[in-house]
Structure 1
Amino acid sequence: MLPYRSKLSVALFLAPPLLLYGAAVLLPIGQSLVLSLFSWDGITEMQFVGLDNYRFMLTGDPVFWRTFLNQLGYVAICLVLQLGGGLVVASLLASLTRGREVIKVLYLLPAVISTVAIAFLFNRVYAVHPQGLVNGLLGAVGLDGWERPWLSDVNTVLAAVSTPEGWRFIGIYMVIIYAALIAVPQELAEAASLDGANAWHIFRHIRFPHIRPVWLTTTIMATTYALRGFDIPYLLTNGGPGQSSELVTTYMYKTAFTSTNYGYASTLAVFIVVECLVAVGLLVAMLRRRADA
C-alpha cells in the first residue's frame, strides 16, 4: 500500500536493527540448534549424535525435569508479584491526586539497581546470623517459630530466590499498566457508577477490557523474562541446596561451563527457546479466547 519511495525508506530504517537482531539473537539460536546435534567438550573434535541429546533430556535426565518444575514455580511466583503487584499499585496510583511521581520513581528504582547488588541485598535480608530483615520482623511480631534459613531450606528456597526477581520488576509493569489505565475513557466509568456499579464491576467490565491488549503484552514480557531468569537464583544459591532452586537456565550454564558438555547445554538452550515460544502461543490463544467470550 506504500509507494516505492516510502517502501525504500522503511527498508533502509529497518535494515540496521534487523541485521543487529539477526546477528545477536537469531544467529546464536541457529548455532545452538546445530551444536545440539553434536557431542563436544569444547576441545576435542565434535561427534555427531543426532537427536540423542534430546532423547536423553526428555527420557534419561531426572535433573532436567526437576529444574523444569522449579522453573514453572519460579515463573508463577514472578508473575504473581510482577503482574498482580503491578496491577494493584497502578490501580491505587490512578486514584491518587498527589505524590504519583514520587511513588513511580520509588517503584522503578529496583529495576535500575545492579543484579549483583540486589542479590547481596536479599542475601542479607534472608540471613540468620546476623539476623536478617525477614527473621527480625517475624521475631518482632511474635512469629519466632517461622524463622528459618530461607536460602538453605529446601521448602522455602525456591520462593526465596523468586521473590527478588518479582520485586525487581514490579515498577516497570506498574508504569505500563498505569499508562493504560489512565487512557481508559473516564466517562464510561462515571456512567457505570451512576447506574449503580461498584468499583470492582467498573474495573472488571470497563477498565480491564480496555487494557487487555496491554495486559497481554506485559504478561508475555514477564513470562518470557522469567523463563530466562538466571542471575539472581545463581548468585543467591547457585541452584542449591541440592537442586531445590536449580532452574533450566542455571543447569544449562553449569552443563556448559562446569561439565564442559556444550552439545547437551545447547540442547537445553534450544529447549528454553521453544519453551518461550510455546508459552507466548498459549498466552495469546488463552487471552484471545477470553476476549471473544
Structure 2
Amino acid sequence: MAVFLLPPLLVYLATVAFPIGESLFLSFFRWDGITEMKFIGLDNYRTMLTMDSTFRAAAVHSLVYLVVNLVIQLGGALLVANALTYLRRGRDTLRVLYLLPAVLSTVAIALLFQRIYSSEPEGVINKVLGAVGLGGLSRPWLSDIHTALVGVSVPEGWRFMGLYTVILLAGLLTVPREVEEAARLDGASETRIFFQIRMPHLRPVWLTTLVMATTYGLRGFDVPYLLTNGGPGVSSELLTTYMYKTAFTSTDYGYSSAISVFIVAECLVAVGIIVALLRRRGEALL
C-alpha cells in the first residue's frame, strides 16, 4: 500500500509542501531577488499586521469577496440543485450546461464581465437599468469605489456555481426516495422535507463543497486582477493581488512571502472552523 501512496506523496511535496516551506523561509528575510538576502526575523509580519494599512484593507476585502462567492456559489447551487431533482427530463443536458462556465478560460470570463459592467460603450447592466426606468442607477461599475469589490466578486461566484450545482445534485439524488414519499404521505411540506431529510443526508457533500469554495475564495486572484488590478485605488485589492504586486512590482519577495504565509494560515483556520462547527452541529442532531 505504501508503494502506491509514494508517487502522489512526492507530487504533493514538490507542488504544495515545498513552495509553502520556501515561502515561510523567505518571509524571515528582506530580499529583492538580486542582492543578498538579509535576515530580519519577524519584521515582515510585524509590519504586515501593525503598520500596513493596504494589507488590512486587502484582508477585509478578501473576506467580503469570500462571502459574496459563498452566497452565489453555494446558495445558488443548492437552490438550483434542489430544483433539478424535481425535473424528469433534460436534467443531464442542464448538468453539462451548468459546467461550462467552470471550463471557460479566465481571460474569456474577464472580457465577458467587462462588457457586462461597461459604461462606455454601455454594458448589459446599464442597458437593462435604462430599459426599466432606473437609468439613474447606471454607473461605471468597475471604476466606482463603492461597487468595484462586489463587481469583481460576482464573476468568480458565477464561474463555479455550476460546478457546485452538479456536485450537490449528485448528493441530493442519493437521498432515498421512499423516505421522502413516506414524509409526504405523513403531510410533511417540501420545505420540511428539504431541511429535515435532504440536508442531513447531504451533510458530507455539503462539507466538501463548503471547504472547496472557502479555500478557492480565499485564494481568488485571476479574475479580480484582470478586471481591476485592485483598483480604483485599493477599493478592490485582495490579499492575493496585493501579494502579487508586492512580489513582482515592488520586488519585495520577503514581504510577499509573509503575505502568502498569512493566506495559507487563513485557509487552514477557516477550514478548521468549518469542520468543527459542522461536526458539532452533526453531533447535536444525533
In structure 1, the residue matched to 2:140 is: 149
Measure the CA separation in 1 of the matches of 2:117 and 2:54.
26
Shift of 1:141: 1.3
Q: Return the match for 1:64 from 43, 55, 73.
A: 55
In structure 2, the residue matched to 1:269 is: 260
Q: Return the match for 2:20 from 1, 26, 29.
A: 29
In structure 2, the residue matched to 1:5 is: none
Q: Provide the secondary structure at the position in 2 that maps to 1:169.
A: helix
In structure 1, the residue matched to 2:185 is: 194
In structure 2, the residue matched to 1:238 is: 229
- Percent identity, aligned pairs only, is 65
Write out aligned runs for 1:176-215 (5 A): 176-215=167-206
Comparing 183-192 with 215-224, greater Cα deviation is found at: 183-192
The residue type paired with residue 93 of structure 2 is V
Measure the CA separation in 1 of the matches of 2:71 and 2:48.
29
Shift of 1:285: 0.9
Shift of 1:158: 0.6
Structure 1 residue ranges (4+ consecutive) displaced by more than 2 angstroms after TM superposition: none
Shift of 1:290: 1.4
In structure 2, the residue matched to 1:124 is: 115
In structure 1, the residue matched to 2:84 is: 93
- Count matched residues: 284
In structure 1, the residue matched to 2:100 is: 109
Measure the CA separation in 1 of the matches of 2:177 and 2:137.
46
The residue type paired with residue 73 of structure 1 is V
Shift of 1:289: 1.6
In structure 1, the residue matched to 2:46 is: 55
Residue by residue over 1:6-59, the C-alpha shift from the partner in whole angstroms, topping out at 9 and shown as x without a partner, is: xxxx21211111101100110010000000000001100000000011111110
* TM-score normalised by length of structure 2: 0.98
The residue type paired with residue 198 of structure 2 is R
Shift of 1:99: 1.1
Matched, 1:278 2:232: no
Matched, 1:175 2:166: yes
Shift of 1:236: 0.1
Residue by residue over 1:123-149, the C-alpha shift from the partner in whole angstroms, topping out at 9 and shown as x without a partner, is: 011001111111111111111111111
Q: Return the match for 2:31 from 33, 40, 54.
A: 40
- Name the Cα RMSD after superposition: 0.7
In structure 1, the residue matched to 2:130 is: 139
Residue by residue over 1:210-257, the C-alpha shift from the partner in whole angstroms, topping out at 9 and shown as x without a partner, is: 000110000000000000000000000000001010000000000000
Measure the CA separation in 2 of the matches of 1:280 and 1:191.
36
Measure the CA separation in 1 of the matches of 2:171 and 2:112.
32
Residue by residue over 1:256-282, the C-alpha shift from the partner in whole angstroms, topping out at 9 and shown as x without a partner, is: 000000000000000000000000000
